[in-house]
Chain A
């Protein structure tokens, strides 16, 4: 049955701080490195070192310019599966390969049942799913189920690879269904938001918008260039002559 559970015991997910992300793509590469040997392995690459390189990735970092009345800033934006509470990618699946777990809310693909019809990727507004043309099945973020429950690795490593790799702590992992968890409190404090809430998928992952400018920061740019030798003299005459 590919209907999703109405309620899950936990809502494991990520909180991504757009204020802290510097767009280094460390989460992207560590995700690829872990998962190409993990639950959904392999993450096939075609022509990886040649022209037209194409491969499966669970996590992609976009960069945007956000221009408002208060100024313009660059925002780096990691995009991956949001493990929605109402995932249409699950209900559209004709085979039952796509499912949402009752225990922790993670959305997964059973690769042995997937027929590769690609409909789930059409149903996902966020572009979280990528088709592996070599294996012929759909692949997606597993929230590193093979790390977070893995008793063979040290306890401090039992977090998703992307979270472990982030050098600026822009990525946080935890139970968003528990209002007292540290990441739920972080979301509340920073007024974390859902992406495309108007589509009604109720994503579990939350994004923390960049903080407003305080105006208190030190000037970091060099002073503007001034007219050469405003006090006049020989060099000012040279400047005038050469500027003609």
Chain B
């Protein structure tokens, strides 16, 4: 599948933003002061979460052929995961706005503000699941239509949100060994899921063959001549092959930037003095976001659509 930059940025940025929003919302809703109550922290952390989410959503709208008609996308939630994603994303803004108003403007975290936090966290996680289901529901693409897509999106969202939250807490001087230890655990969980997903994808059989695609049973079906001499929409959109050539190297980059380096940096925090922990935490966040962009690029570029069978791939 063609890796459209708008969609790669959208799923990565809004994934991290929703993960951070979910953790902030739950942190506010949980009894006891888990998060710093200061307005400044609320402004910066919620601002980052909402900024990432909104930039991602705008980027995905940019991907549309007719963005001015985007409101139609709220109508088909009964059948379409994309429509459900739109509804969930828009709905999540309401409790998020209430949370931001209560925390940043009024400086309170109790009562309805805590409830808004819980609702914003729920909405954020539901939206991430809707995004994942868009891909997981597509039967022509075996690399997406499997049991790993949904948990991977969800865990990656929480993982990148946790790494961001840890960095923010240390920037505000209120980080603790708990925060980087939990972020480290989240990275290890994400790493395991990605390894399992790649192993499963590599071992999976394609959902159809050139024989069943053309209805010519038995023997071998070879593409003799394409219908057209130039690339068409199908080949540009679904016949993307560049990444498969470099799969091993790109997967190595993902292992390094998204998982190995951030875990090493956060593990190092156990022995580092506080100022160095701050630097390591921020570096871990940047490294992971870069790694996740490559991971998401591979997610698209490695995906094989059954239409390529007609072209002899």
**CB-defined interface of B36-67 with A at 8 Å, one 1/0 digit per residue?**
00000000000000000000000000011111
Contact across chains for B222 and A64 when beta carbons are under 8 A apart: yes
In the complex, what distance in Å separates the CA atom of A195 from the CA atom of B221? Answer: 14
Binary interface encoding of chain A residues 86-119 relative to chain B, with 1 for a CB under 8 A from any of its CBs, else 0: 0010111111110000000000000001111111
B218 to chain A, nearest CB (A): 5
Q: Which residues B214-265 have CB closer than 8 A to chain A?
A: 214-234, 237-238
Determine if B215 and A18 form an interchain contact, defined as CB atoms under 8 angstroms apart.
yes
B138 engages A123 (CB within 8 Å): yes
Whether, in the assembled complex, B81 has its beta carbon less than 8 Å from a beta carbon of chain A, the answer is yes
Shortest A242–chain B CB gap in Å is: 37
- Judge if A167 is at the interface, Cβ distance under 8 Å: no
Chain B residues, Cβ within 8 Å of A66? 214, 216, 219-222
- Scan B298-313; emit 1 where CB is below 8 A from any A CB, else 0: 0000000111001100
Min CB–CB distance B69 → chain A (angstroms): 5
A137 touches B230 (CB 8 A): no
A115's contact among B65, B79, B231, B307, by CB below 8 Å, is which?
B65
B86 at the A interface (CB under 8 A): yes
Q: Identify which of B148-156, B168-176, B205-213 touches chain A.
A: B205-213
The answer to whether A28 touches B227, judged by C-beta atoms less than 8 angstroms apart, is: yes
Partner of A122, one of B69, B138, B210, B226: B138
Given A113-B69, A125-B139, A196-B208, the answer on whether A74 and B224 have CB atoms closer than 8 Å is yes
CB of A135, distance to nearest CB on chain B (Å): 8
Across the interface, which residues of B come within 8 angstroms of A135, CB to CB? 65
Taking CB atoms, residues of chain A closer than 8 Å to B79 are: 1-3, 90-93
Report whether A94 and B72 are in contact in the complex, using a CB–CB cutoff of 8 Å. Answer: yes
**Complex contact B75–A95 (CB within 8 A):** yes
The answer for the CA separation of A130 and B137 in the assembled complex, in Å, is: 20
Residue among A51, A61, A64, A207 making CB contact with B221, cutoff 8 Å: A64
Q: Are A54 and B138 in contact (CB under 8 A)?
A: no
Q: What is the number of residues of chain B that contact chain A, defined by CB distance less than 8 Å?
A: 58
Q: Is A5 interfacial (CB-CB < 8 Å)?
A: no
A127 with B72: CB separation less than 8 A = no
Q: Could you tell me if A198 and B208 are in contact, using CB atoms closer than 8 angstroms?
A: yes
Is the CB–CB distance between A94 and B207 below 8 Å? Answer: no
Instruction: Tell me whether B139 and A200 are in contact (CB under 8 A).
Output: yes
Tell me how far the C-beta of B152 lies from the nearest C-beta in chain A, rounded to whole angstroms: 18
- List residues 187-235 of chain A with CB under 8 A from any CB of chain B: 193-200, 207, 209-210
A117 touches B82 (CB 8 A): yes
Whole-angstrom CA separation of A117 from B283 in the bound complex: 35
Q: Which B residues touch A55, using CB under 8 A?
A: 232
Interchain nearest-CB distance for B312 vs A (Å):
8
Complexed CA–CA distance, A78 and B306 (Å): 16
B214 touches A67 (CB 8 A): no
| Complex contact A195–B76 (CB within 8 A) | no
B234's partner among A115, A127, A198 (CB-CB below 8 A) is A127
Contact of A54 among B82, B217, B218, B233 (CB under 8 A): B233
Select one of B80, B139, B215 contacting A2, CB under 8 A. Answer: B80
Query: Does residue A75 face the partner (Cβ distance < 8 Å to B)?
Result: yes
Neighbouring B residues of A18 by C-beta, 8 Å: 215-216
CA distance A116 to B60 in the complex (A): 12
Min Cβ gap B156→A in Å is 21
Complex Cα–Cα for A123 and B66 (A): 19
Complex partner residue of A88 from B86, B139, B207, CB under 8 angstroms: B139
Is B134 an interface residue, CB under 8 A from the partner? Answer: yes
B233 and A75 contacting across the interface, CB-CB below 8 Å: no
Smallest CB-CB separation from A4: which chain B residue? Answer: B79
In the complex, whether B1 has a CB less than 8 A from a CB of chain A is yes
**B227 CB, min distance to chain A CBs, angstroms:** 4
Type the 1/0 row for A113-153, where 1 means its CB is closer than 8 Å to any CB of B: 11111110111111100111101111000000000000000
The interface residues of chain A lying within 8 Å CB-to-CB of B78 are 1, 3
A10 interface residue (CB < 8 Å to B): no
A63 at the interface (CB under 8 A from B): yes
Task: Judge whether B141 and A122 touch: CB under 8 Å.
Answer: yes
> 24 A-B Cβ contacts within 8 A?
A1-B76, A2-B76, A25-B227, A52-B230, A54-B231, A60-B228, A60-B232, A65-B221, A66-B220, A75-B216, A88-B137, A88-B138, A92-B82, A92-B138, A94-B80, A115-B73, A122-B138, A123-B139, A125-B305, A131-B237, A133-B233, A196-B207, A198-B212, A207-B215
In order of increasing CB-CB distance, the 10 nearest A-B pairs are A116-B65, A136-B65, A68-B219, A127-B307, A95-B72, A60-B227, A94-B83, A125-B140, A63-B225, A94-B73
Known contacts A96-B76, A198-B212; 10 further A-B pairs (Cβ under 8 A): A60-B232, A62-B214, A62-B223, A63-B225, A64-B216, A95-B83, A124-B140, A137-B65, A196-B212, A210-B216
